[in-house]
Structure 1
Amino acid sequence: MLASKFHLNTLKEAPTEAEIASHQLMTRAGMIRKHAGGIYTYMPLGLKIMRKVEAIVREEMNNAGAIELLMPVVQPAELWIESGRWEEYGPELLRIKDRHQRDFVLQPTSEEVITDIARNEIHSYRQLPVNFYHIQTKFRDERRPRFGLMRGREFTMKDAYSFDRDEAGALASYDIMFNAYMRIFKRLGLTFRAVAADTGSIGGSRSHEFQVIAETGEDLIVYNPDSDYAANIELAEAPCLIAKREAPTQALQEVETPNANKCELVAQQLGVGLDKTVKSVVFVTTPEEGPAKVWLLMVRGDHEVNEIKVGKLPAFKNGFRLATEEEILEYFGSEPGYLGPLNTVKPVNIIVDTTVANMSDFICGANKAPYHITGINWGRDLPEPEVADLRNVIAGDPAIGEPGKLAIQRGIEVGHVFFLGDKYSSGLKATFLNENGKPETLQMGCYGIGISRITAAAIEQNHDEKGIIWPIAMAPFEVVICPVGWGKSETIRNEATALYETLKQNNIDVILDDRDARPGVMFSEWELIGVPIRVTIGDRGLKDGVIEVQERSKAEAVKVPVAEVNAYVLSLFENLKNTL
């Protein structure tokens, strides 16, 4: 490709709303152009990167036995009503009507459509297992689209759906996809972790996220540096930090704590460690039958309640919310900040975190502002509590069941695999006939990769003050040839053109910058775009018998004899590919 024949339009400044590196750099490099919040055109450079990602994903999916099809962007509402997600999915589901006033959706995902296909196409156990996938535009009506492609409304995703005759088969299909995803992200050249995760709105009972490690990531990943353990913080099991509860040593005492409505302020006023305080959070559940119930959940003062874990408690599975201030006053007789398990106005249901269950002589609110109670003990002052894992893990917590201490890092979710079981197939009555001619419900898995999000995540992980540093598998061009003095020197043109033709013949994606730009402008533009290998050919170097070759990730160029430059660039290219 000649640069003069390609569309390049870089910018010196990023738009003011671009908050993170990927949004800023993709806009400046001319890879995306915005039309509305979360809606972009992929310009030629950006689309070229996307197609390279798609090619790797498609190749690994095909190698794993998945079969490609293409499902529609616009889906009939009837399928979503049948699955129960027409109301359940919420405002992110963009609902539209056609000219006949029939309801449709712009697909955010395709479980309903693929299950409809399966129930009409799969009739016998002989057709199983099977895995269908497509790469298609999705739309989710994000309340606050931001960060460019990181959280857009319209995006490109690969989603796949496996169908099996039983759970064992479905879990085998899950493992095949998990391993395929590991190969995909390694081939893309990304630093990532596969982490155990919550299933969220998709549903199902087994789930892993694939997280690209980056400081700007919205997700927190808990991992053990001494093992393979990794989990999203929403799911990571928090250890009990107190092996055995000590016997009481203090009497109950009500103490005045003015303006201390947080555990940190209480600990400071009383001159104790934050780990001697207990934080009280009040939730309300509404059972299918009977009145609403008020719950007091308690974690240590230096910990935070994990609402994903709370939602998995049996009493909370039908939904829950934080109590209102009116409800808190009704049950506790106090404003928030001074709440505790003693002296409530009305009985409340108490659940405590595993660490709190082993605390003694701890401090809680007195249900009377501005007072707290010290010296509280289970068994003596309060009945033995119901115990559950309620908190987020914090860095330094001991690993459970293995040596090591847990660490936390940020990540960007770019892939997710789920074992769904019969969540959709039972609702949509997708069955097959077994060996005895009897109907059984299909077992499903689903597997998503955010194609467009990967491009942004790669930049968040790989950039510097000059611009993007692409892994070679994703780069819009693998090599750029920069002739200094293209319009003035026939020798330079000949050397550049000869190298260009050699690299093309070796199937390297190379671009020759024949625009005759000033060296500083030319170098800055290609550093911004992030091409992995730059070859600079100039009069001064040719007089010395050398051509400069520089990796985008390295600070210094290497001077290579002219006669050896073809072999050197080819060898460098192979080395970069082989490090993936």
Structure 2
Amino acid sequence: MRASRFFISTQKEAPSDAEIVSHQLMMRAGMIKRLGSGIYTYMPTGLRVIRKVEAIIRDEMNKAGGIELLMPLVQPAELWQETGRWDKMGPELMRVKDRHGREYAIQPTSEEVITDVVRTEIKSYRQLPLNLYHIQTKFRDERRPRFGLMRGREFTMKDAYSFDRDLAGMQASYKVMFDAYTAIFTRFGLKFRAVAADNGAIGGTGSHEFHVIASTGEDALVYCPTSDFAANMEAAEAMPLAASRPAPGQELTKTSTPGTTKCEQVAQLLGIELSKTVKTIALVVEKEVDGKKTTENWMLLLRGDHEMNEVKVGKVPGLANHRFATEAEILLCYGTLPGYLGPIGTKQPVTVVADRSVANMADFVCGANDKDFHYIGANWGRDVAEPLVADLRNVVEGDASPDGKGVLAIERGIEVGHVFQLGTAYSESMKATFLDENGKPAPLQMGCYGIGVTRILGAAIEQNYDDKGIVWPTAIAPFEVVLCPMGMDRSEMVKTEVEKLYADLQAAGVDVIVDDRGLRPGAMFADWELIGVPHRVVIGERGLKEGNLEYQGRRDAAATAVPVAGMVEFIKGKLSQ
């Protein structure tokens, strides 16, 4: 490739709406161009990265036994209605109507379509296992698109679906895909971590997320440095901080605490540790009984220095459809406004759920359901009935690892892949069955495996950049090597060597571009450092007269002189590292 025949559109400044580094650098490097909110044109350099990401994914998917097809972007509403997701997905699902008034979804994912394909094609256990995948445009109507390709509305995704005859087969297929994903992200050249995760809107049972490690990542990843335990914050189990509950040591005392609506304020006023306080979160669950709407009051109790985990709360029996109570509901149930709520002496019946750590506390401080007052020395059993107990909180650094093999650490990550054990969540609702060895129909066991192809670009940049621009891993860089001639238009010696080296590198299978635009060295180097090409060779008369060329890796502090005759082998060696 010659730069004069390519399209390079670098900019000195990023647009004002580019909030994070990857968005800023992709815009400045001319890799994407904004068309609308959360919608981008992939410019030539950006598209080259996408195609390299796709090629690695295809290669590893094919090695793992995946078979590629292509499912449509527009999908009939009837399929989504079969699984109930037409309503469950809410406004994130883009819906359109054709000229006949028929409704369609602009697909955010393809579980319904692939299940429909397989239920019409698979008849016998002899046709299993089966793994089908595609790389296709997706659309999710994000409430607030932001961060460029990290949270856009239109994006490219690889999704794969496995079909098996039984649970053991599905778990075996899942393991194959897990290993394939590990190979894919390793080949990308990215630092990543696979963590146990919650299945969310996709449904099913077990799942793992693959995260690119980056200090700017939105997700907290929990892991144990001395074992194999790893999970995202939503799924990381928080172990009790005490093995058992101590005996009461204080009398229950109602104490004046004026103007202290937060646990931090209460702890400071009373001169105690924040961990001695308990905070109350009021929830409501709406139900319909005999055609009448009723509400149930629920109270969650967490230690003052802990944060609620909403995913865990939603899994507490009875709280799947909870919402936060309004001020009016709180006043009616507790007799006071938020800030002074507690489990002792509510005006209406309340179901109390205590986090494991709170359940093992004695002599704790909690709200007295009276403005400007808290209880000191509260104890379970003596002062208030024993609560329901559940894991409700986010883990913190230093917590015991659930596997008992050390303590937990936390790092930031960007989710770029997710693998799910779906089981029969879709095959049962869509009646996707096969005939087993005994000739009896059985539901297909499914797995689902996604990679955010375009999101990889943003995640890779968030992990690999400096003050000059992007630093692409070689495997997914838009070009592996750039040749930067000094005065090529004025020196026949330089021109001859550039053309020879260019041809030799191409013959060796190197993805190389020569910058023949005639720019000054500073401007030329700045462009390629911004774009992030990992290997640069400078060809100038002075070096040629000494028999050398200059090589500099994108992360290198200085250039290295390499003999002209040995440059191709030198580059091949760098690319193999």
Would you say the 8 A contact 2:537–2:551 is kept in 1?
Answer: yes
Which residue, 485, 488, 506 being the options, matches 2:487?
Answer: 485
User: Following superposition of structure 1 onto structure 2, how do residues 177-326 of structure 1 map, counting pairs within 5 Å?
Assistant: 177-287=177-287, 289=289, 291-317=294-320, 319-326=321-328
The whole-number CA distance in structure 1 between the counterparts of 2:25 and 2:523 is 17
Q: CA deviation at 1:511?
A: 0.4
Write out per-residue CA displacement over residues 30-71 of structure 1, whole angstroms, 9 at most, x where no aligned residue: 111110011111111111100000000001111111111000
8 Å contact from structure 2 (residues 70, 135) kept in 1: yes
Structure 1: distance between partners of 2:482 and 2:476: 15
CA distance in 1, matches of 2:498, 2:94: 52
Kindly indicate whether residue 567 of structure 2 is the aligned counterpart of residue 565 of structure 1. Answer: yes
By how many angstroms is 1:565 displaced?
Answer: 2.1
Q: How far did residue 253 of structure 1 move?
A: 1.0
Q: Which residue of 2 aligns with 1:578?
A: none
Q: Matches of 1:11 and 1:73 in 2, distance apart?
A: 33
Alignment of 1:79-118 (within 5 A): 79-118=79-118
**Corresponding residue of 2:552:** 550
Which residue of structure 1 aligns with residue 520 of structure 2? 518
Residues 217-261 of structure 1: per-residue CA shift (max 9 Å, x gap): 111111111222110100100111122222111111111111110
User: Does 2:131 align with 1:128?
Assistant: no
Match of 2:466 in 1: 464
Say which is worse superposed, 286-295 or 105-114, in terms of deviation.
286-295
Paired residue for 1:499?
A: 501
Cα distance in 1 for partners of 2:556, 2:345 equals 66
Aligned mate of 1:449, from 448, 451, 475: 451
* Two-structure CA RMSD over aligned residues (Å): 1.1
Q: Distance in 2 between matches of 1:91 and 1:339?
A: 35
Work out the CA distance in 2 between the residues paired with 1:289 and 1:446. Answer: 37
* Residues 1:26 and 2:29 aligned together: no
- 1:561 deviation in Å? 2.4
Deviations 1:63-83 (A, max 9, x none): 111111000000011111111
Letter in structure 1 aligned against 2:114: I
CA distance in 2, matches of 1:160, 1:151: 21
The 1-side partners of 2:289 and 2:234 are apart by 29
CA offset digits 1:479-520 (Å, max 9, x no partner): 000011111111111111111111111100000111111000
Distance 2:286 2:409 in 1: 37
Deviation at 1:313, TM superposition (A): 1.0
Amino acid of the structure 1 residue aligned with 2:283: F
**How far 1:167 sits from its partner (Å)?**
1.1
Counterpart amino acid of 2:528? W
Gaps of 5+ in 1: 576-580
Instruction: Please say if 1:527 is aligned against 2:535.
Output: no
SS of equivalent residue, structure 1 residue 91: helix
Question: Match of 2:60, SS?
Answer: helix
Q: Deviations over 1:255-291 (max 9, x none)?
A: 1111110000000000000010001101112346473
Displacement of 1:403:
2.9
Equivalent residue for 1:42? Answer: 42
- Greater mean alpha carbon deviation, residues 108-117 or residues 544-553: 544-553
The one-letter amino acid of 1:300's match is R
1:395 to 368, 375, 397: 397
Q: Tell me whether 282-291 or 66-75 shows the greater mean CA deviation.
A: 282-291
Tell me the distance in 2 between the aligned counterparts of 1:401 and 1:374.
35
Q: TM-score, normalised to structure 1's length?
A: 0.98
User: In structure 2, how many angstroms separate the alpha carbons of the residues matched to 1:273 and 1:58?
Assistant: 55
2:64/2:180 contact within 8 Å kept: yes
What displacement does 1:384 show? 2.1
1:342-357 aligned at under 5 Å gives the runs 342-357=344-359
Counterpart of 1:542 in structure 2: which amino acid? Answer: L
SS in 2 for 1:426: helix
d(CA) in 2 for partners of 1:266, 1:170: 52
Q: 1:57 is matched with which residue?
A: 57
Residue ranges of structure 2 left out of the alignment (5+ in a row): none
Question: Which letter maps to 2:529?
Answer: E
Distance, in Å, in 2 between the alignment partners of 1:425 and 1:248 is 53
| Structure 1 residue 562: Cα displacement | 2.4
Letter in 1 for 2:305: D
In the alignment, is the contact (CA less than 8 A) between 2:346 and 2:369 conserved in 1? yes
- Aligned counterparts of 1:260 and 1:545: Cα–Cα separation in 2: 77
Q: Deviation per CA, 1:372-406: give whole Å up to 9, x if none.
A: 11000112112222111110001121212333221
What is residue 475 of structure 1 aligned with on the other side?
Answer: 477
Contact 2:22 2:458 in 1 (8 A): yes
Does the aligned pair in 1 maintain the 2:229–2:403 contact within 8 Å? no
- Are 1:341 and 2:343 an aligned pair? yes
1:339 deviates by 0.5
**Whole-angstrom distance in 2 between the partners of 1:558 and 1:358:** 63
Q: Percent identity?
A: 62
Structure 2: distance between partners of 1:367 and 1:209: 42
How far apart, in 1, do the equivalents of 2:509 and 2:567 lie?
A: 16
Deviation digits for residues 101-133 of structure 1 (CA, Å, limit 9, x no counterpart)? 111111000011111111111111111110110
